Structures are given as C-alpha cells and as structure tokens.
Structure 1
Amino acid sequence: MQAIIGTDPAEAAQRLSRGELVALPTETVYGLGGHALNLRAVTNIFRAKNRPSFDPLILHQSDTDRIFRYARRVPEGARALAEACWPGPLTLVLERQPTVPDLVTAGLGTVALRVPDHPLTRDVLSRVDFPVAAPSANPFGYVSPVTARHVADQLGDRIDYILDGGACRVGLESTIVTFDGNGQPIVLRKGGTPVEQLEDILQQSVSVRTHGSSRPEAPGMLSRHYSPGVPLTLVERADGSGTAEHAIVRFGSPARNAYEYSLSENGQLEEAAHRLFVTLRSLADAGYREATVEMVPENGLGLAINDRLRRAAR
C-alpha cells in the first residue's frame, strides 16, 4: 500500500502517536519520523530504510526546552549554539537521559538532538509529548530526499503518511556538533550550518573530526554515503561538454547543453546546496553511465557540499 501524501499536521501527529511512520519536511531534507520512545516504531524506521542498527538516530522536538529534556548535561557551548541556531540546521550530540532507548542511540551514551526549522513539522512536534526520531527519508546510503515526491518514489510503500511541506529550503542535512570532556566543540558532520558560523557564535576555533568509522558517533559519519547510482568523477573544472552517456555538473557557470547541469551559474553556495541532491538524483533518473562534477570552493557551505560529493563518489 502506498503512503498517503497530505498537508495536515494534526493527522501526522496522530499517526506518530499510534506508532506509525511519517515523513516530515524540514529546512534540510525530509525526515522519516517515528515515536522515539516506542521500540516498535524505531525498529520500523531501521527496517524501512534498511539502515544498520549501529547508526544512531536524531531526536526532534519543537523547542529547546522540550528537546533538552533528553540530555543529562548541557554544556554552556551547547546552550549558546542552541540559542543562536535553533530552530535550524544544527544537531547537538550530548550525554543522554536513560529514558532514551539504546536502539535510538546505537547503544552509545550520547544522543543527537535537534529543533528543525519548518512550520508544518514544528506544528506536528508541538502536538506530541514525545521526541520524534527522524533520519533522512530515503533508503540507507542513497541521496537524501528534498521533496515529498522523492520520499514517495523511494519509500512510499514502506511508510504510512508523507507530510508535504514543499521543497526543502537548505537541501543539506544538519551540521552535527558534540563537546569533549573539557567543553571543547567538535564537528562530527558538516552540514547546513557552516563551521565559520559556529566559531563566530562560540568565539573559539572548532575542530572537525573525520568520518569513516564503522561504529559512528553520530548519523552521517560513514565514509561511503549519498550514492546517486551513477559513478562520479570530481574535478576542479570540467573540460569538454556533456554527452548522452556522460553528464557534467558545473558550478559558477551555466550548463552548455541538455546533458549538463549547473549547481549555481553565479557561484552561490546556498543555491548549490539547495540543488545538490536534486541534481544527483537527476543523474540517475536520466540513465547516464557516468558523470563529472565540479567541486565548489572549500569555505562556508562549500565544506558540506564537497563532503557529500566526495562520499557520493566513493
């Protein structure tokens, strides 16, 4: 049975309360939501995505006070980031409360927490008295969905309801930050909140921990991820023109023919982030045998965009 696509936050909240799976729009990507304290619902999230149980989930709620209930201790830096960035594309990994199931955290002593910035989903979250676990609403390892139709195409027969909130504004997953025992901030995943912005808020440098662990500390840390189903070659600048078998994805210049795509003709990183997953998905849909993709500058959102491209190309 195919999932119902609708726009009713009340229905979405009721379905979550009953333990059903609901795809939810956020400013980053669509999430596959389930009652985080209901083990059957959490198990069904892993099953629907074919996601390994060692990969932890992010908990979502409608405001800072409600989501921090699930952390035992909140460092001063975490509170500063929450005040400045929530609601928004930032996830904080903190010491967890024992009420959070081991299945959600992959048995870790920490839990990932977020307040998303989308009016429909915040409405849903305000109606429920539990956190919602919501990884990206796509099969594990594949390109994240940024429209309700993307969700329906890949998971429509495995979930119950898709809340259609239009196209996602940011188009990249949230940045994930944790803190060491001395309260020093560490980025575990680059995403929709640039590292430079975090440093401005905290007034200190922020270290970035490389991914690739077979037992990740947070979602999105595996070295191979975001597969578009087409072999990618990453370059600084692409020579030649696209063909029916070989697509070219450009940045900072327009597409030259029907076999080329441009993440941003004017070189705008925000536009490139917004278009990234849609473009990668288009490559597979068009049936190209391979694609050459131009990298973007390594600053701001460019760090997260290039991170996704490198993992998609592995």
Structure 2
Amino acid sequence: MTELLTPEQLPRAAALLRAGELVAFPTETVYGLGADARNARAVAAVFAAKGRPSFNPLISHFPSAEAAFAEVVDDERARRLAARFWPGPLTLVLPRRASSRIDALTGAGLSTLAVRVPAHPLARALLREAGVPVAAPSANRSGQVSPTTAAHVLAGLEGRLAAVLDGGPCTVGVESTVLDLSGPVATLLRPGGVPREALEAEIGPLALAGATEGEAARPSPGMLLSHYAPGLPVRLEAREVAADEALLAFGPPLPGAGAVWQLSERGDVVEAASRLFAGLRWLDAEGDRLNLNGIAAMPVPEHGLGLAINDRLRRAAAPR
C-alpha cells in the first residue's frame, strides 16, 4: 500500500528515502519517482517500478549547485548556467567525478551524470532533509504520460512505491531541459522547462541531438523515439478533427471533436506546457469512455516552451 503524505509529513518521506524506499515528490516540472542515488538496490527498484530499460539514465537531484558539482566536473559554462537557472528546470550532463558515490546504474554505466537543482520548495526541503542525492525520473510507468499531480502518480504506480509526497499540481508541466556539457560543444539533448533561446543567450549556439533507437546507453532520459504516450494514438498538426477523435486544442478549438482539452485558448505556450500532460491523460480516459479512436493535436509554435511541447507530442505520436 502506497502512503499519501502531506507536506507536514516531509520528515517521513525523507526517512523512507534514507532507508532505501521509493518516494514520489513534486518538482516544478513533473512528479519524480525518487530513490537514494547512491543505493544500488533503491535505484534498481526505480527501474523495476517503472518498467524502465536500464540503458535510460536517471537524473540526480540536489538541494544546491555546490552539492551537484561535488559529483560532476563543472566548467565555466556550467557555472554560468547554474547561476542563471538553478534552482530551476534545467538538467546538466557533465563528466562524473572519480570521487562520486552515485551508483553506476543511476547514470546507465556512463562516464557522465545528469544533475539538477529543482525549484519546487517542497522538493528542495525534501532533498535537504533526506541528506542524500535523489535519483528521480518521472513517476509513471515507462513510456506513458508524465504525472503532474499526486493522483496521477497513484493511478499508475499504486503499490509500486512506498509513498507519494503531495505538493499539489506542478507549475511548469513538462520535464526539465537537458543540456550536455560533457564535451566542447554544448548539445541540447531534451527541450524542456528552460527555453533554448534563454540558454543560447547565456552560452551561445547549441547543437541539437535527435531521438535514438536501440539499446545503447543514452546520456539523458527522454531520448527514446516513443515516449510520453497515452493509450490512444496521437495525430499531429491537426487542421480538422473527426467526430470519433478527441482534440488537444491550442487557440480556438477546431469544431466537431468528440471531446476537447484546451491547452491555451489565448495561445500561450507557458500555459499550454503546464496543461499538456494533464490534458493527454484526460483525453485518453475520456476517449476510452466515449469509444473514440484517437487524439488529434492542433499545431503549437516552435518557440519558447513550444519546442518542449512539440518534442513530447512527437514522441507521444511515434510508432510503439
């Protein structure tokens, strides 16, 4: 039985993490499925609970930049970005320090680690109280829609983890941006909560990495071709919608859909990002109830958080 904990029960959540148990907790992006990143058994339990392939690494979360950089080899670019965007929805991939105690499975056996300092006050309080680095992918079954509320976590993982720390809905709503700084060229591995334009304003142009197939270890989570997928098939760039389709709307909705979830009536990509995963979950459930055949997604512009939204939608629509 999974415990549902209130913020006042944070010490209980921290004690469970230290004991090697799995605890889901809120960040500003999505809920994470947390484990002590140094505990091999706990990290393996994360992969088992999610049904996640072991070549897909986990992000380690820290209460401060100093704690994160104690595990990885930072450089001037990393320090500039940390000063500007941490705490916040940015993950940096950097070379692992020889002295790092992060378990090898956390980083998929690679010579790099993905590290982040989340901005959610409850997440940071939990990290301070636990006193251990916390490996945490999104708290959902692998490949499915990420959770932005405690109820979403329980719907997918009830009985597979010790507790969920309920901090209310997540504000950003898409995962962190992942930037690889392990080599001389800064490479955007996953668009997310920090827009590409903001990163380039700090350190210059970024290279872009594409989605990958096969079972070679990835430097970052969120790089699988099919990911973030609801049960119903997703159709992109919808300019019209059929009566047997659900509609993921952006701006004025197309007429004729069997069910509609509005990302943002006014065309705001920030609002749309915060409502994306909740919308995919709702349309999937409503489509199943109404016997609909798919989800049609209206176009979203590729600027700001629109880049992250479209990345998630393309992966949701990919062949499974």
TM-score w.r.t. length of structure 2: 0.93
2:294 maps to what in 1? 290
Could you say what secondary structure the match of 2:261 adopts?
A: strand
Q: Structure 2 regions of 5+ residues with no counterpart?
A: none
2:87 maps to what in 1? 87
2:281 maps to what in 1? 281
Task: State whether residues 32 and 138 of structure 2, in contact with CA within 8 Å, keep that contact through their aligned partners in structure 1.
Answer: yes
Task: State whether residues 28 and 169 of structure 1, in contact with CA within 8 Å, keep that contact through their aligned partners in structure 2.
Answer: yes
2:46 maps to what in 1? 45
2:67 maps to what in 1? 66
In structure 1, C-alpha distance between the alignment counterparts of 2:60 and 2:121, rounded to whole Å: 17
Cα deviation for residue 37 of structure 1 reads: 0.6
Equivalences, count: 308
Q: C-alpha offsets along residues 41-94 of structure 1, whole Å, 9 cap, x if unaligned?
A: 1111111101111111100011110111111x2121011111100010000000
Give 2:15's aligned amino acid: Q
Task: State whether residues 170 and 273 of structure 1, in contact with CA within 8 Å, keep that contact through their aligned partners in structure 2.
Answer: yes
Give the counterpart of 2:313 among 303, 309, 313.
309
Runs of 4+ in 1 over 4 A off after TM superposition: 254-258
Could you say what secondary structure the match of 2:130 adopts?
A: coil
Cα deviation for residue 295 of structure 1 reads: 2.0
Identity across matched positions, percent: 47
In structure 2, C-alpha distance between the alignment counterparts of 1:250 and 1:228, rounded to whole Å: 16
Give 2:316's aligned amino acid: A
Counterpart mapping for 1:154-303 below 5 A: 154-182=156-184, 184-202=185-203, 204-214=204-214, 215=216, 216-235=218-237, 237-240=238-241, 243=243, 245-254=244-253, 259-286=259-286, 287=288, 288-303=292-307
In structure 1, C-alpha distance between the alignment counterparts of 2:246 and 2:239, rounded to whole Å: 11
Q: C-alpha offsets along residues 83-136 of structure 1, whole Å, 9 cap, x if unaligned?
A: 100010000000012422211111100000000011111001111332000000
Cα deviation for residue 264 of structure 1 reads: 0.6
Question: Is 1:3 matched up with 2:3?
Answer: yes
Could you say what secondary structure the match of 2:264 adopts?
A: coil
2:32 maps to what in 1? 31
Task: State whether residues 247 and 258 of structure 2, in contact with CA within 8 Å, keep that contact through their aligned partners in structure 1.
Answer: no
Using a 3 Å threshold, how does the CA distance of structure 1 residues 291 and 80 change in structure 2: closer, same or farther? same
1:97 maps to what in 2? 97
Could you say what secondary structure the match of 2:309 adopts?
A: helix
Task: State whether residues 146 and 228 of structure 2, in contact with CA within 8 Å, keep that contact through their aligned partners in structure 1.
Answer: yes
2:143 maps to what in 1? 141
In structure 1, C-alpha distance between the alignment counterparts of 2:104 and 2:265, rounded to whole Å: 46
Task: State whether residues 259 and 283 of structure 2, in contact with CA within 8 Å, keep that contact through their aligned partners in structure 1.
Answer: no
Q: Structure 1 regions of 5+ residues with no counterpart?
A: none
In structure 2, C-alpha distance between the alignment counterparts of 1:299 and 1:60, rounded to whole Å: 27
In structure 1, C-alpha distance between the alignment counterparts of 2:229 and 2:267, rounded to whole Å: 24
Could you say what secondary structure the match of 1:111 adopts?
A: strand
Cα deviation for residue 11 of structure 1 reads: 1.3
TM-score w.r.t. length of structure 1: 0.94
In structure 2, C-alpha distance between the alignment counterparts of 1:148 and 1:4, rounded to whole Å: 8
